[in-house]
Structure 1
Amino acid sequence: MTWEPERLDDQSLLAEADQGAMLPAIAAAAAQVRTAHRDASEAGVARLARDGRPRAIVVAGMGAAALAGDILAVICGYGAPVPIVTVRSGRLPGWVGAADLVMAVSSSGQTTETLAVAAEAVRRGASLMAVGAQGSPLQAVATQSSALFVPVTAQGPPRARLWSLAVPLLAGAGALGLTQDGTDLFEGVARALEDMAHRCRPSSESFVNPGKALAMELAESVPMVWGASPLTAVAAHRLALQLHENAKYPAIWGELPEALHNQLAVLDGPLAERDIFADTAERTLRLVVLREADDRPQALFKVAEDRGVPVSELIAEGVNPLERLATLIELVDYASAYLALGYGIDPTPVTSITELKARISQ
C-alpha cells in the first residue's frame, strides 16, 4: 500500500475508496448527539434519580462502548461524589452490589462480555441501565429485570456510533446531579461537531482541512499520541483506536505526566533516528500531543526538537469540557479516515477482527 496524498483532494477517488461510507458516518456525529439525547429522555433516564445517587457507577463495554465510559468519567471529573469505573471485560469487580449502578453499553446489544456483566449486575441486585440496539439480547436482559433501556438508533459500524453510546450515559449522570445536563448543553455540542465536520468535509482541500492536514502529518510515521490532561487523554486514546480500526495503522497512546516517566525514552531509540541520506523514506517516530489552550508542555517540545522528532499539536476548542472533547474526537475521527483513504484503504471493514470473532464462536 502506497501513501498518495493527492487522493485526499480527488472527490471521485475518495468516494470510490470509502465504500463503507465512513466519512458520512463521521459527519453524522451532531445528529447522533441530538437523537441520543432525545432517545434517553424518552426512555425515562430521569428515573435513575428516584433512589438517590448510587455508591459507584460501573460502565461495562468494549471498544467505543468502553470509551463512552471514559468520556462519562472525565466529564464528571475528579470532583464527582461517586467513583466512575469502566470495565473492559466480562466480569464485574467483586465489590459491586445493590448500592451501585451498572451501565451496560453495547451498540449491537450482543457483545458477549457486556451481556455477561449485565446479567451479573442483575444477580447481585445492582441497578442496571442498558444502552444498545432494540430487539437485542441486551434489551431482553433489561426488560426481564425491569431496568432502564435506551435504544441505539444510529447506523454504521459501532466505532462510528460513539455519541449514541456516550450521550445516554451523560444524560443519566445529569439526572443524578453528577454533571451538567439539558438540551442547551447537547445542542451546543452538536453545533460544535457540525462546525468541525464542515471544516473537515471531503470537498475542503488539504491546505485548509484540519482532518486531511493531520492525516498527512501522520502518514509514513509511527505516531506516539499523548493527551496533556485527563480530558485530552480520552481523545488521544480515541485517535489511537481509530488509527487501528479505520487506517489499519499502528499507534501508541499515553497520558501526561505518566508518559514522561516511561514512553518518553522512545525518543532516544531506533525509531527516532532519521537518515537524511537514505534513498527511500523511513517510517520514523512522530509525537502527537493533544492539549487544551492553556496547557502547552514547552519542556517536552524542546526535548523532541533537540532529537529531531517532529511534533503535531492538536488544541481542544469549545466553551465547556464536553465541547472541547467532542471537537477533538471529531477531528481525529476524520484524520484516521483520511489516512486510510490516502493509502487506498476502505476505513470500514475490520477483516481480521471479524475473522477472529468467527473463529472464537466456532
Structure 2
Amino acid sequence: MLDDSLLDDPAALRRADRDHALLALAGAGARVRTALRLAEGAGLAGLQPEGRPRAVLVAGHGSALTAAEALAALAGNGTLVQPLAPADARPAALFSEGHSWQLPGWAGPLDLVVAASADGTEDGLVKLAEQAYARGCAIAVIAPEGRPLAEAALQVRGLPLPYLPAADPEAFAGSAAAEPAEPDLPAEEVGALWAYLTPLLALADRIGVLDAPAEQLARAADLLDELAVRYRPDAAAYLNPAKDLAAQLSGTVPLLWCEGPLAAVAAERFAAMLAERAGRPAVAGLLPQVLSTHRGMITGRLGAGADPGDFFRDRVEEPDPLTVQVLVLRHTPQEAPAEPVEPEVLPEPGPATPTVRRARRLAADHEVRLTELAGTRAEPLHALAELVALTDFAAVYLGLAEQH
C-alpha cells in the first residue's frame, strides 16, 4: 500500500532509501561526463577505424543489453546493432560463472563485438572475446580496469573501455544493501545504464555507426542534471512529475504502450525498474500491436475491476481491487520555449498520431486510465534521457513509498 505522506517528507525518503538509489539517479549526469572522459583517455580519441562495421554485437546482461537496444534505436537502419543475451546458464556458485554467450554463425571480420560487464569477471564473456578473435571480429570491452575481461581485451587485440562504478558502493538497484546477495539474482547498480551507454555511444560515433559527438553527450549530462533537480526528493509531490507518476501507479498493473523504437527502449527499462525497485509487474509492447495483444487485459477483469466507490464494500476485508492502467510512451519533438517555464506535472505531450488516438479511444471505451509520457527534446538521445530519468525516479519513489 502506498504511503502518500512519505513522498512529501524528504527526510523520511532519505531514511527509507537505504541503498541510496535516489542519490545514484541524481549522479547520472556526472557519471556520463566521467565515463566519457575515461573512454577518451583509454584511447578512443586515437582510434582510426577502417570504415563502418557491418554489425555491432553487444554482449552482456541487464542494463548492458538495454544500452545495446538504445544504440540500435539511435542508430536506425544504417548499421545492424544486435544485443547478445546469455545463450546458456549452468549451475554455479556465482552468477558470473554460470552464463555463456554465443556469436551468431554469420559474425566475422566485418563485424564489431562489444563485451560489457560491470563486474568484469564473467568467464563466459572472456570466452566470447576469444571466440570473436578466432572469427576475425573487431573487439571492444567495457569493464572495470584490471578485471579478467579487461585483461582479455588486451590479449585479443581489442579496445578496453573502462566501466565507471558507482561512487557509492552501496548504491545498487536491489533492496536494502544489508541483505545478502543471491548468487542467481545479483543486484545491479541503478545508474549502470549510463555507465554502459556513454562509452558505447562514444565508440559508435568514432566508427561511424551514428552521430554522437562529445558535445551531444555533454548536453545529455546537463539535461540529466536538470531533471535530477526537478525530480529531487525535496520537491513537493504536486510539482514533481516522478512522484506524481509513482502515486498514479499504486495499486495497478501498468501496460506500457510505446510508439517507436526509442520509446520501446524506455518502456523496457521502466518495466525492469518497476520489477527491481518496486516488485511490480509491468507489460511493455509496441503500438499498434498491443491494441490487439493487450485487448484482453483492457476488457477483462483487471480492466473493469471492482467499483472503488462501492458504498457497501468492506474497506478492511476487501481492499482496493488491482486494475490495469495504460502508459503511452512517445517521442514528440517540440521547440524549446523562449523563456523558462515552471514545469508541469506530466505535461501535455503534444499532437497525437492516429495510432495514439486509437489507443486513447480503446482505453476510454473501457474506462481504463491512460497517461501519456513524452520525450519532447528534438535530439533523440536527449528525449531518451527525459523518459528514462522520469521513469527511473518514479520506480524508485514507488518502491520506497509502498515498502515503507
Both structures adopt the same fold (TM-score exceeding 0.5):
yes
Alignment partner, residue 301 of structure 1 = 360
Deviation digits for residues 232-264 of structure 1, max 9, x if unmatched?
110001100000111121111111223224123
Amino acid at match of 1:323: H
Amino acid at match of 1:8: L
The structure with the larger Rg is 2
Q: Distance in 2 between matches of 1:218 and 1:118?
A: 42
Q: What secondary structure, in the 3-state scheme, does the structure 2 residue paired with 1:172 have?
A: helix
Amino acid at match of 1:262: T
Conserved in 2, the CA contact under 8 Å of 1:48 and 1:172?
no
Amino acid at match of 1:275: A
Deviation digits for residues 310-335 of structure 1, max 9, x if unmatched?
11211113230000001110111100
Deviation digits for residues 103-124 of structure 1, max 9, x if unmatched?
1111111345434433321232
Matches within 5 A, 1:1-362: 2-46=1-45, 49-78=48-77, 80=78, 82-89=79-86, 90-155=101-166, 156-157=171-172, 158-276=189-307, 277=310, 278-279=313-314, 280-293=319-332, 294-296=351-353, 297-344=356-403
Superposition CA RMSD, Å: 1.6
Deviation digits for residues 86-129 of structure 1, max 9, x if unmatched?
11122111111122100111111134543443332123221110
Amino acid at match of 2:320: A
Q: What secondary structure, in the 3-state scheme, does the structure 1 residue paired with 2:325 have?
A: strand
Deviation digits for residues 313-362 of structure 1, max 9, x if unmatched?
111132300000011101111000000011136xxxxxxxxxxxxxxxxx
Conserved in 2, the CA contact under 8 Å of 1:62 and 1:114?
no
Q: Distance in 2 between matches of 1:71 and 1:37?
A: 17
Q: Distance in 2 between matches of 1:185 and 1:342?
A: 35
Amino acid at match of 1:263: H
Q: Distance in 2 between matches of 1:10 and 1:93?
A: 51
Q: Distance in 2 between matches of 1:115 and 1:339?
A: 38
Q: Distance in 2 between matches of 1:173 and 1:38?
A: 16
Q: Larger % of helix: which?
A: 1
After TM superposition, the structure 1 stretch with the greater mean CA deviation from structure 2, 208-217 or 50-59, is: 50-59
Q: Distance in 1 between matches of 2:393 and 2:83?
A: 26
Q: 1:316 to 1:62 in 2, by over 3 A?
A: same
Structure 2 portions without partners, runs of 5+? 87-100, 173-188, 333-350
Percentage of identical aligned residues: 35
Amino acid at match of 1:195: E
Q: What secondary structure, in the 3-state scheme, does the structure 1 residue paired with 2:320 have?
A: coil
Q: 1:41 to 1:16 in 2, by over 3 A?
A: same
Q: What secondary structure, in the 3-state scheme, does the structure 1 residue paired with 2:278 have?
A: coil
Conserved in 1, the CA contact under 8 Å of 2:2 and 2:247?
no
Structure 1 portions without partners, runs of 5+? 346-362
Conserved in 2, the CA contact under 8 Å of 1:121 and 1:128?
yes
Q: What secondary structure, in the 3-state scheme, does the structure 2 residue paired with 1:207 have?
A: helix
Q: What secondary structure, in the 3-state scheme, does the structure 2 residue paired with 1:44 have?
A: helix
Q: 1:118 to 1:338 in 2, by over 3 A?
A: same
Conserved in 2, the CA contact under 8 Å of 1:110 and 1:136?
yes
Conserved in 2, the CA contact under 8 Å of 1:215 and 1:335?
yes
Q: 1:264 to 1:195 in 2, by over 3 A?
A: farther
Q: Distance in 2 between matches of 1:252 and 1:69?
A: 20
Amino acid at match of 1:138: L
Q: Distance in 2 between matches of 1:264 and 1:128?
A: 44
Q: 1:299 to 1:21 in 2, by over 3 A?
A: same
After TM superposition, the structure 1 stretch with the greater mean CA deviation from structure 2, 146-155 or 236-245, is: 146-155
Alignment partner, residue 354 of structure 1 = none
Report how many aligned residue pairs link the two structures.
342
Q: 1:237 to 1:12 in 2, by over 3 A?
A: same
After TM superposition, the structure 1 stretch with the greater mean CA deviation from structure 2, 42-51 or 93-102, is: 42-51
Shift of 1:283: 1.1
Q: Distance in 1 between matches of 2:164 and 2:282?
A: 31
Shift of 1:45: 2.1
Q: 1:223 to 1:55 in 2, by over 3 A?
A: same
**TM-score if structure 2 supplies the norm length?**
0.81
Q: 1:283 to 1:199 in 2, by over 3 A?
A: same
Amino acid at match of 2:81: I
